[in-house]
A and B are shown apart, each in its own frame.
Chain A
Amino acid sequence: MPARAGKPAGPTEDRELVRRAQGDDREAFEELVRRHQHRVFAVAGGILRRREDVEDIAQQVFVKAFFSLKRFDQRAAFSTWLYKITVNECWDLLRKKKVRPLVYESDLSEEQARQVLSSGEKGSDGPDISERLAARERVERLLAGLDERDRLMLILKEVEGFSIEEIAEVLDLNGNTVKVRLFRARRRVVIQAKKSGD
Protein backbone atom coordinates (compact mmCIF):
# COMPACT_ATOMS: atom_id res chain seq x y z
CA MET A 1 0.00 0.00 0.00
CA PRO A 2 1.54 3.34 -0.92
CA ALA A 3 2.52 5.42 2.09
CA ARG A 4 -0.42 7.47 3.22
CA ALA A 5 0.54 11.10 3.56
CA GLY A 6 -1.29 11.48 6.86
CA LYS A 7 -5.04 11.47 7.18
CA PRO A 8 -6.32 14.65 5.61
CA ALA A 9 -7.80 17.07 8.13
CA GLY A 10 -11.58 17.34 8.02
CA PRO A 11 -12.78 20.36 6.07
CA THR A 12 -15.09 21.46 8.88
CA GLU A 13 -12.26 21.48 11.40
CA ASP A 14 -10.09 23.32 8.90
CA ARG A 15 -12.70 26.03 8.39
CA GLU A 16 -12.85 26.72 12.10
CA LEU A 17 -9.06 26.79 12.43
CA VAL A 18 -8.73 29.08 9.42
CA ARG A 19 -11.35 31.41 10.83
CA ARG A 20 -9.47 31.59 14.12
CA ALA A 21 -6.12 32.03 12.40
CA GLN A 22 -7.57 34.88 10.36
CA GLY A 23 -8.41 36.46 13.69
CA ASP A 24 -4.69 36.35 14.62
CA ASP A 25 -4.87 33.15 16.63
CA ARG A 26 -1.33 31.80 16.22
CA GLU A 27 -2.05 28.48 17.83
CA ALA A 28 -4.79 27.84 15.31
CA PHE A 29 -2.36 28.46 12.45
CA GLU A 30 0.26 26.25 14.06
CA GLU A 31 -2.35 23.50 14.28
CA LEU A 32 -3.08 23.96 10.57
CA VAL A 33 0.64 23.54 9.88
CA ARG A 34 0.77 20.30 11.86
CA ARG A 35 -2.30 18.92 10.12
CA HIS A 36 -1.23 19.71 6.58
CA GLN A 37 2.55 19.54 6.61
CA HIS A 38 2.75 15.90 5.53
CA ARG A 39 0.68 16.45 2.44
CA VAL A 40 2.56 19.61 1.56
CA PHE A 41 5.77 17.61 1.83
CA ALA A 42 4.22 14.91 -0.33
CA VAL A 43 3.29 17.36 -3.08
CA ALA A 44 6.62 19.17 -2.96
CA GLY A 45 8.43 15.83 -2.90
CA GLY A 46 6.61 14.84 -6.06
CA ILE A 47 8.12 17.77 -7.91
CA LEU A 48 11.46 18.46 -6.27
CA ARG A 49 14.24 15.98 -5.82
CA ARG A 50 16.40 17.39 -3.08
CA ARG A 51 15.21 16.97 0.45
CA GLU A 52 16.56 20.37 1.48
CA ASP A 53 14.57 22.01 -1.31
CA VAL A 54 11.44 20.18 -0.23
CA GLU A 55 11.81 21.37 3.37
CA ASP A 56 12.61 24.94 2.35
CA ILE A 57 9.66 25.10 -0.01
CA ALA A 58 7.30 23.58 2.54
CA GLN A 59 8.31 26.26 5.04
CA GLN A 60 7.92 28.97 2.41
CA VAL A 61 4.45 27.67 1.55
CA PHE A 62 3.20 27.97 5.10
CA VAL A 63 4.79 31.39 5.65
CA LYS A 64 3.17 32.60 2.43
CA ALA A 65 -0.14 31.08 3.50
CA PHE A 66 0.09 32.89 6.84
CA PHE A 67 0.62 36.30 5.28
CA SER A 68 -2.08 35.69 2.64
CA LEU A 69 -4.57 34.08 4.99
CA LYS A 70 -6.73 37.15 5.46
CA ARG A 71 -7.34 37.28 1.72
CA PHE A 72 -8.41 33.59 1.63
CA ASP A 73 -12.18 33.54 1.37
CA GLN A 74 -12.71 29.80 2.06
CA ARG A 75 -14.67 29.24 -1.16
CA ALA A 76 -12.28 26.36 -1.81
CA ALA A 77 -10.95 24.00 0.83
CA PHE A 78 -7.90 25.18 2.76
CA SER A 79 -6.01 22.08 1.64
CA THR A 80 -6.74 22.83 -2.04
CA TRP A 81 -5.49 26.38 -1.63
CA LEU A 82 -2.38 25.14 0.16
CA TYR A 83 -1.60 22.53 -2.52
CA LYS A 84 -1.85 25.15 -5.25
CA ILE A 85 0.58 27.41 -3.39
CA THR A 86 2.90 24.41 -3.02
CA VAL A 87 2.81 23.54 -6.71
CA ASN A 88 3.40 27.16 -7.73
CA GLU A 89 6.29 27.60 -5.31
CA CYS A 90 7.90 24.41 -6.60
CA TRP A 91 7.61 25.44 -10.24
CA ASP A 92 8.98 28.90 -9.33
CA LEU A 93 11.98 27.35 -7.62
CA LEU A 94 12.69 25.15 -10.60
CA ARG A 95 12.40 28.10 -12.96
CA LYS A 96 14.84 30.03 -10.82
CA LYS A 97 17.24 27.15 -10.73
CA LYS A 98 16.61 26.60 -14.45
CA VAL A 99 16.53 22.89 -13.85
CA ARG A 100 13.86 20.75 -15.45
CA PRO A 101 12.40 18.43 -12.84
CA LEU A 102 12.93 15.47 -15.13
CA VAL A 103 16.69 15.89 -15.29
CA TYR A 104 18.23 12.92 -13.56
CA GLU A 105 20.73 13.80 -10.90
CA SER A 106 23.12 11.10 -10.04
CA ASP A 107 24.21 12.64 -6.76
CA LEU A 108 22.37 12.34 -3.53
CA SER A 109 22.15 15.48 -1.43
CA GLU A 110 24.52 15.64 1.54
CA GLU A 111 21.76 14.76 3.97
CA GLN A 112 20.69 11.77 1.88
CA ALA A 113 24.29 10.58 1.62
CA ARG A 114 24.66 10.81 5.41
CA GLN A 115 21.50 8.78 5.80
CA VAL A 116 22.76 6.13 3.40
CA LEU A 117 26.05 5.84 5.26
CA SER A 118 24.49 5.75 8.70
CA SER A 119 21.72 3.34 7.72
CA GLY A 120 24.27 0.63 7.08
CA GLU A 121 25.15 0.69 10.77
CA LYS A 122 21.61 0.11 11.96
CA GLY A 123 19.83 -3.18 11.81
CA SER A 124 16.19 -3.10 10.82
CA ASP A 125 13.62 -5.55 9.62
CA GLY A 126 12.09 -3.40 6.95
CA PRO A 127 13.73 -1.86 3.90
CA ASP A 128 16.27 0.56 5.25
CA ILE A 129 16.64 4.12 4.05
CA SER A 130 19.38 3.25 1.58
CA GLU A 131 17.13 0.76 -0.20
CA ARG A 132 14.25 3.20 -0.24
CA LEU A 133 16.42 5.96 -1.60
CA ALA A 134 17.85 3.61 -4.21
CA ALA A 135 14.29 2.65 -5.16
CA ARG A 136 13.47 6.33 -5.49
CA GLU A 137 16.49 6.92 -7.71
CA ARG A 138 15.47 4.01 -9.94
CA VAL A 139 11.94 5.32 -10.23
CA GLU A 140 13.18 8.83 -11.01
CA ARG A 141 15.07 7.42 -13.99
CA LEU A 142 11.93 5.72 -15.25
CA LEU A 143 9.88 8.89 -14.78
CA ALA A 144 12.40 11.03 -16.63
CA GLY A 145 10.57 10.77 -19.94
CA LEU A 146 7.18 11.81 -18.61
CA ASP A 147 5.43 15.13 -18.70
CA GLU A 148 5.95 16.98 -15.39
CA ARG A 149 2.30 16.76 -14.43
CA ASP A 150 2.10 13.04 -15.22
CA ARG A 151 5.19 12.47 -13.14
CA LEU A 152 3.69 14.34 -10.21
CA MET A 153 0.42 12.42 -10.60
CA LEU A 154 2.14 9.07 -10.50
CA ILE A 155 4.22 9.93 -7.46
CA LEU A 156 1.24 11.32 -5.60
CA LYS A 157 -0.82 8.24 -6.44
CA GLU A 158 1.70 5.43 -6.14
CA VAL A 159 4.09 6.76 -3.49
CA GLU A 160 2.18 9.27 -1.42
CA GLY A 161 -1.22 7.58 -1.51
CA PHE A 162 -3.32 10.49 -2.77
CA SER A 163 -6.75 9.65 -4.16
CA ILE A 164 -7.84 10.61 -7.68
CA GLU A 165 -9.95 13.44 -6.27
CA GLU A 166 -7.05 14.79 -4.24
CA ILE A 167 -4.73 14.69 -7.24
CA ALA A 168 -7.36 16.51 -9.27
CA GLU A 169 -7.46 19.21 -6.57
CA VAL A 170 -3.70 19.60 -6.52
CA LEU A 171 -3.41 19.93 -10.27
CA ASP A 172 -6.67 21.73 -10.89
CA LEU A 173 -7.91 19.05 -13.29
CA ASN A 174 -11.09 17.04 -13.32
CA GLY A 175 -11.08 13.50 -12.01
CA ASN A 176 -11.60 11.79 -15.39
CA THR A 177 -8.62 13.58 -16.88
CA VAL A 178 -6.50 12.42 -13.97
CA LYS A 179 -7.62 8.81 -14.42
CA VAL A 180 -6.92 8.78 -18.14
CA ARG A 181 -3.54 10.43 -17.73
CA LEU A 182 -2.60 8.06 -14.92
CA PHE A 183 -3.31 5.03 -17.04
CA ARG A 184 -1.28 6.44 -19.92
CA ALA A 185 1.57 7.40 -17.61
CA ARG A 186 1.64 3.91 -16.13
CA ARG A 187 1.83 2.42 -19.61
CA ARG A 188 4.85 4.56 -20.44
CA VAL A 189 6.62 3.76 -17.19
CA VAL A 190 6.05 0.03 -17.62
CA ILE A 191 7.37 0.14 -21.18
CA GLN A 192 10.40 2.10 -20.00
CA ALA A 193 10.98 -0.39 -17.18
CA LYS A 194 10.91 -3.28 -19.63
CA LYS A 195 13.38 -1.52 -21.93
CA SER A 196 15.78 -0.78 -19.10
CA GLY A 197 15.42 -4.23 -17.59
CA ASP A 198 14.05 -2.97 -14.24
Chain B
Amino acid sequence: MWNLLKKSDEECGELQDLLEESAAACAKAVRVEELSGDWPPAQRKHLADCGSCREAAQDFFAAREIFKGVASQAEEARPWFATRVMEAIRAQERELALPASLWSAFPRFASRLAWAAAVVLLAGSAWLYERPVTAPNKAPAAASAQEYLFEAPAPAMNQDDVLISMAEKNQ
Protein backbone atom coordinates (compact mmCIF):
# COMPACT_ATOMS: atom_id res chain seq x y z
CA MET B 1 0.00 0.00 0.00
CA TRP B 2 2.80 2.37 0.95
CA ASN B 3 4.55 1.58 -2.32
CA LEU B 4 1.39 2.34 -4.25
CA LEU B 5 0.98 5.70 -2.53
CA LYS B 6 4.63 6.53 -3.05
CA LYS B 7 4.43 5.56 -6.71
CA SER B 8 1.36 7.71 -7.12
CA ASP B 9 3.14 10.70 -5.56
CA GLU B 10 6.07 10.17 -7.89
CA GLU B 11 3.76 10.02 -10.90
CA CYS B 12 2.01 13.20 -9.79
CA GLY B 13 5.40 14.87 -9.37
CA GLU B 14 6.51 13.78 -12.83
CA LEU B 15 3.29 14.99 -14.42
CA GLN B 16 3.56 18.36 -12.70
CA ASP B 17 7.16 18.69 -13.91
CA LEU B 18 6.03 17.87 -17.42
CA LEU B 19 3.22 20.40 -17.18
CA GLU B 20 5.64 23.16 -16.13
CA GLU B 21 8.08 22.35 -18.94
CA SER B 22 5.39 22.05 -21.62
CA ALA B 23 3.67 25.26 -20.55
CA ALA B 24 6.96 27.17 -20.52
CA ALA B 25 7.59 26.00 -24.09
CA CYS B 26 4.06 26.90 -25.23
CA ALA B 27 3.18 30.33 -23.85
CA LYS B 28 -0.15 30.61 -25.63
CA ALA B 29 -1.66 27.38 -24.29
CA VAL B 30 -4.71 27.97 -22.12
CA ARG B 31 -5.77 24.36 -21.47
CA VAL B 32 -3.87 21.23 -20.55
CA GLU B 33 -5.36 19.41 -23.55
CA GLU B 34 -3.33 21.70 -25.82
CA LEU B 35 -0.14 20.33 -24.29
CA SER B 36 -0.91 16.73 -23.36
CA GLY B 37 -1.18 15.56 -26.95
CA ASP B 38 2.63 15.42 -27.08
CA TRP B 39 3.02 13.70 -23.73
CA PRO B 40 4.02 10.05 -23.25
CA PRO B 41 1.00 7.69 -22.97
CA ALA B 42 1.74 6.93 -19.32
CA GLN B 43 1.47 10.61 -18.42
CA ARG B 44 -1.71 11.09 -20.42
CA LYS B 45 -3.24 8.10 -18.65
CA HIS B 46 -2.22 9.42 -15.26
CA LEU B 47 -3.79 12.78 -16.06
CA ALA B 48 -7.03 11.04 -17.01
CA ASP B 49 -7.00 8.94 -13.82
CA CYS B 50 -5.75 11.42 -11.22
CA GLY B 51 -8.23 14.03 -10.02
CA SER B 52 -5.54 15.95 -8.09
CA CYS B 53 -3.39 16.34 -11.18
CA ARG B 54 -6.32 17.45 -13.30
CA GLU B 55 -7.20 20.05 -10.69
CA ALA B 56 -3.55 21.17 -10.49
CA ALA B 57 -3.45 21.54 -14.26
CA GLN B 58 -6.64 23.61 -14.26
CA ASP B 59 -5.24 25.81 -11.48
CA PHE B 60 -2.05 26.23 -13.48
CA PHE B 61 -3.87 27.74 -16.43
CA ALA B 62 -6.32 29.69 -14.31
CA ALA B 63 -3.42 31.35 -12.47
CA ARG B 64 -1.74 32.09 -15.78
CA GLU B 65 -4.89 33.87 -16.90
CA ILE B 66 -5.08 35.84 -13.64
CA PHE B 67 -1.52 37.08 -13.99
CA LYS B 68 -1.87 37.88 -17.68
CA GLY B 69 -1.09 41.50 -18.44
CA VAL B 70 0.34 42.33 -15.02
CA ALA B 71 3.04 44.98 -15.17
CA SER B 72 6.51 43.60 -14.62
CA GLN B 73 9.10 45.59 -12.76
CA ALA B 74 11.82 44.11 -14.91
CA GLU B 75 10.40 45.01 -18.32
CA GLU B 76 10.91 48.70 -17.97
CA ALA B 77 14.03 50.08 -19.55
CA ARG B 78 16.17 52.02 -17.12
CA PRO B 79 19.23 53.12 -19.06
CA TRP B 80 20.09 55.64 -16.36
CA PHE B 81 20.27 53.07 -13.59
CA ALA B 82 23.87 51.86 -13.94
CA THR B 83 25.13 55.45 -13.99
CA ARG B 84 23.12 56.23 -10.89
CA VAL B 85 24.60 53.22 -9.08
CA MET B 86 28.18 54.23 -9.95
CA GLU B 87 27.50 57.79 -8.76
CA ALA B 88 26.10 56.45 -5.49
CA ILE B 89 29.24 54.35 -5.08
CA ARG B 90 31.47 57.38 -5.66
CA ALA B 91 29.45 59.43 -3.17
CA GLN B 92 29.83 56.75 -0.55
CA GLU B 93 33.56 56.49 -1.20
CA ARG B 94 33.91 60.25 -0.72
CA GLU B 95 32.09 60.01 2.59
CA LEU B 96 34.29 57.19 3.78
CA ALA B 97 37.46 59.04 2.73
CA LEU B 98 36.69 62.20 4.74
CA PRO B 99 39.34 62.64 7.47
CA ALA B 100 37.93 61.93 10.88
CA SER B 101 37.39 65.24 12.58
CA LEU B 102 38.24 65.72 16.21
CA TRP B 103 34.59 65.52 17.08
CA SER B 104 34.08 62.34 15.16
CA ALA B 105 37.00 60.84 17.13
CA PHE B 106 35.47 62.12 20.34
CA PRO B 107 32.96 59.35 20.79
CA ARG B 108 35.77 56.82 20.71
CA PHE B 109 37.53 58.40 23.64
CA ALA B 110 34.47 59.75 25.35
CA SER B 111 34.55 57.34 28.26
CA ARG B 112 38.25 57.87 28.90
CA LEU B 113 37.83 61.64 28.68
CA ALA B 114 34.92 61.48 31.07
CA TRP B 115 36.96 59.51 33.61
CA ALA B 116 39.92 61.88 33.24
CA ALA B 117 37.66 64.92 33.73
CA ALA B 118 36.11 63.34 36.80
CA VAL B 119 39.53 62.66 38.34
CA VAL B 120 40.73 66.22 37.63
CA LEU B 121 37.57 67.67 39.17
CA LEU B 122 37.92 65.50 42.25
CA ALA B 123 41.57 66.31 42.71
CA GLY B 124 40.94 70.00 42.13
CA SER B 125 38.08 70.07 44.63
CA ALA B 126 40.14 68.25 47.22
CA TRP B 127 43.05 70.64 46.79
CA LEU B 128 40.78 73.67 47.08
CA TYR B 129 39.17 72.21 50.19
CA GLU B 130 42.39 71.24 51.89
CA ARG B 131 44.68 74.21 51.13
CA PRO B 132 45.43 76.43 54.19
CA VAL B 133 43.40 79.64 54.40
CA THR B 134 45.65 82.73 54.95
CA ALA B 135 44.39 85.97 56.70
CA PRO B 136 44.17 88.81 54.20
CA ASN B 137 46.28 91.34 56.35
CA LYS B 138 48.94 89.00 57.62
CA ALA B 139 51.45 89.86 54.96
CA PRO B 140 51.27 93.71 55.33
CA ALA B 141 51.36 93.40 59.17
CA ALA B 142 54.44 91.26 58.92
CA ALA B 143 56.09 93.74 56.64
CA SER B 144 55.28 96.68 58.85
CA ALA B 145 56.46 94.72 61.89
CA GLN B 146 59.86 94.58 60.23
CA GLU B 147 59.85 98.39 59.98
CA TYR B 148 58.90 98.76 63.65
CA LEU B 149 62.17 97.20 64.62
CA PHE B 150 63.97 100.23 63.34
CA GLU B 151 61.60 103.12 63.76
CA ALA B 152 58.40 103.83 65.49
CA PRO B 153 55.43 103.83 63.20
CA ALA B 154 53.75 107.13 62.58
CA PRO B 155 50.36 107.27 64.15
CA ALA B 156 47.51 106.86 61.67
CA MET B 157 45.94 110.20 60.82
CA ASN B 158 42.22 110.58 61.09
CA GLN B 159 40.07 113.05 59.21
CA ASP B 160 40.27 115.76 61.89
CA ASP B 161 44.04 115.63 61.89
CA VAL B 162 44.02 116.05 58.15
CA LEU B 163 41.79 119.14 58.34
CA ILE B 164 43.92 120.63 61.12
CA SER B 165 47.13 120.11 59.21
CA MET B 166 45.61 121.70 56.11
CA ALA B 167 44.43 124.69 58.11
CA GLU B 168 47.91 125.09 59.57
CA LYS B 169 49.43 125.00 56.17
CA ASN B 170 47.05 127.66 54.87
CA GLN B 171 47.94 129.91 57.71
Contacts and interface: CB of A to CB of B under 8 A. Distances in A.
Q: Do A and B come from one complex?
A: yes
Interface of A: 1-6, 26, 29-30, 33-34, 37-39, 41-42, 44-46, 51, 54-55, 58-59, 62-63, 66-67, 127, 129, 131-133, 135-136, 139, 142, 154, 158-161, 163-164, 176, 179, 183, 186-187, 189-190, 193, 198
Interface stretch (B72-80, B111-119, B123-131, B148-156): B72-80
Nearest to A194: B62
B128 to A, nearest CB: 52
A29 B83 CA distance: 11
B63 A133 contact: no
Contacts of B92: 63, 67
Contacts of B68: 135
A62 B71 CA distance: 23
* Chain A, interface SS category: helix
6 contacts: A33-B82, A66-B89, A127-B69, A136-B70, A176-B13, A187-B59
Interface stretch (B16-24, B31-39, B161-169): B16-24
B56 to A, nearest CB: 5
B82 A34 contact: yes
A179 B70 CA distance: 22
Contact of B69 (A5, A131, A142, A187): A131
A41 B74 contact: yes
